[in-house]
Chain A
Amino acid sequence: MSITLAIAGIVIKDLYRRKDFYVLFVLTALITLLMGSVNLFHDDHIVRYLKEMCLLLIWICSLVIAITTTARQIPMECESRTIFPLLAKPVTRTQVILGKFLGCWLACAVTLLVFYLFFGVAAMSKEHHWPLANYFQAMTLHWIMLGVVVSMALLGSLVFSAASANTTICFVGVAFILLLGRHLDKVAVQVPQPASSALQALFFTIPHLEFFDLRDLVVHDWPPVRWFVCLEAIAYAAAYAAFFLLAACLLFRRKALN
């Protein structure tokens, strides 16, 4: 476990050495503050558009950070040949994969913490209350969802030849699931066979990342989701993350590194 944590620590250090996070955070803050300063019919209490835009930017930035950070981990180690001294130590390939996953996932947690703190302060400055339970649920489920994305990107980094190809495919896949995943079964009943069966199969196979998107509930001040339901969603995500990680471990064991 200590080896896995040590590898994870290196990944986290890599994140704060790079400038991706700082640039994205400053950009998000700048756009949010700019939008917050707009005078709309002399009403200072209008806040939901600001919450929606800020959350949208947080989601985009977190996906960019999660996918780009994860996708370059293994290819970078192979290119710079640091994978050989790493594996020469008493470190198994499974530990490398788990360490990389944990590092990227924890780096996402740090990122989300900063982003959501900013979001909370920006929203509170206008609406003067802080629905902590809602924000906590939104952030936690967002982080859990990123766990699935990170494991997916890690598997992709072993399947695809280049990090750029993996990044693009991951972005397209995640965007597809978030935008259309919920509606696939509705589309399936409207198309002829065999497309209908293929869409139904796809609907039940893909990880439904939209479960973890509580933006609408947070923006419109809906009551928090029941905690037991949240736990069920976490278990659902854990199953998918475990599947992708296991596949990554199996692939990495057989992968020729030279």
Chain B
Amino acid sequence: MPGHDEITLDRPKASRRTHMAQYSLLLLLAVCFSLATDLTTWYQNWRGNRAESANLMAVAMGDARRLFANHFFVKADAYFHSGFYPSIYDNLQSYKTPHIAEDSGAMRGRNSGDETTFLGPPRNWIDRFGRQFFPSVHTHLTEGGANGEEKESAVREILPWMKLSSELDPKRVETYSVTAYWLRRMGKPNEAEDFLREGLRENPGNPQLLFDLGRLYSESRNDPIRARNLWEAGLSNLQKATEEQRDQNKFVTEQLLAALAKLEQKANHSNRALSLLERLKAISPNPEAIEQWINDINKELPPHSTPSL
């Protein structure tokens, strides 16, 4: 039985081979572990590491999430119009600034033209017929919506897209501003405050968010002292900003100065109000209206007092 003998003789050889394989496996595991401990520290300090954030969307989408954030912000505006919204192929002149942002005062309006007629007259029978299968009448959720019977609270339908937009791009300040405004209009100041504070955590000391938080304290909580503190903090943060940043935030500066001036006027601090209005007049696109405001305050002053600017 030569075959049988060969098998018996080969057994220790096979066993040795198995052991060798097992030791090699252990050795490879040890090498992997050692390399991993070294590489992990290097990877965490590497500037090209995309996993800097714990946010899954930030890791997966990178900078593309800003594009999507903008898309969802616009989608919220489309919901505000109950789906009646221009596509990229339509005339966008009257929708350059989303209406939800313009109405909330978070952005200066750049819209022109008639927002109700961006579709224009029907171009052919297919276009005429097709318009009966999609929203083709201009409405706002705050003005009755699609069926004309919606309550103002129907504006809540924009909120999921705003929330998603803020999660995709937490640095986009307008999203927090606009959402907080509509939450306040829906009678949800607590949610508005929470959302603004979330925005401030992401954008510390942002003047726009401080202005909105001040507005919340002034209008919803009737707390002018906190409002003043927040607005003054906003103004001082703007003064610390660079010239370029100040140019970008001109609209916020106007809002902060006007709000503070109004507050001071209400508190009978006419001199401080006039001082703020003079600053506002210098940057406002409508200085005549500010001049009129100054004149009104001057008229209210007693004849013997001289305003010190």
Which A residues contact B (CB, under 8 angstroms)?
A: 38, 40-43, 45-49, 141, 182-183, 185-187, 203-204, 208, 210-214, 216-217, 219-223, 225-226, 229, 232-233
Contact = CB atoms under 8 A, between A and B. Distances in A.
Given A41-B183, A43-B156, A208-B126, A222 B135 contact: yes
Contacts of A216: 83, 134-135
Contact of B133 (A42, A203, A212, A223): A212
Contacts of B159: 40-41, 43, 46
B252 to A, nearest CB: 25
B215 interface: no
A185 to B, nearest CB: 6
A238 B228 CA distance: 67
25 contacts: A40-B160, A40-B163, A41-B156, A42-B188, A45-B156, A46-B156, A47-B157, A48-B79, A49-B160, A186-B89, A186-B123, A187-B89, A203-B126, A204-B124, A208-B126, A211-B129, A213-B133, A220-B79, A220-B83, A221-B82, A221-B147, A222-B82, A223-B147, A229-B129, A232-B129
Interface string B147-182: 100100100110111010000000000000000000
B126 to A, nearest CB: 6
Interface of B: 79, 82-83, 87, 89-90, 123-124, 126-127, 129-130, 132-135, 145-147, 150, 153, 156-157, 159-161, 163, 183, 188, 191, 195
Contacts of B195: 41
A234 to B, nearest CB: 12
Contacts of A42: 188, 191
A186 B89 CA distance: 7
B103 to A, nearest CB: 18
Contacts of B123: 185-186
A40 B160 CA distance: 7
Contacts of B90: 186
B83 A219 contact: yes
B157 A49 contact: yes
Contact of B135 (A182, A211, A217): A217
Contacts of A40: 159-160, 163
Nearest to A53: B160
Contacts of A38: 160
A216 B132 CA distance: 11
A217 B145 CA distance: 12
Name the prevailing secondary structure of the B interface residues: helix
Interface centre among A185, A187, A214, A221 (most CB of B within 10 A): A221
Contacts of A47: 157
Contacts of A225: 132-133
Nearest to A219: B83
Given A48-B157, A221-B147, 4 more contacts: A210-B133, A222-B135, A223-B146, A232-B129
B83 to A, nearest CB: 4
A215 B159 CA distance: 20
Contacts of A222: 82-83, 135, 146-147
B154 to A, nearest CB: 9
Nearest to A216: B83
B161 A49 contact: yes
A226 B129 CA distance: 12
A175 B145 CA distance: 30
Contacts of A223: 146-147
Nearest to B91: A186
Contacts of A214: 133
Contacts of A182: 127, 130
Q: Closest 7 CB pairs between A and B?
A: A220-B82, A216-B83, A49-B160, A183-B89, A222-B146, A48-B157, A41-B191
Contacts of A229: 129, 132
Contacts of B126: 185, 203-204, 208
B94 to A, nearest CB: 17
Contacts of A45: 153, 156
Given A46-B160, A185-B123, A216-B135, A208 B130 contact: yes
A178 to B, nearest CB: 12
B79 A210 contact: no
Contact of A220 (B124, B135, B156): B135
A226 to B, nearest CB: 7
A187 B224 CA distance: 54
A233 B132 CA distance: 10
B122 to A, nearest CB: 11
Contacts of B130: 182, 208, 210-211
Contacts of A183: 87, 89
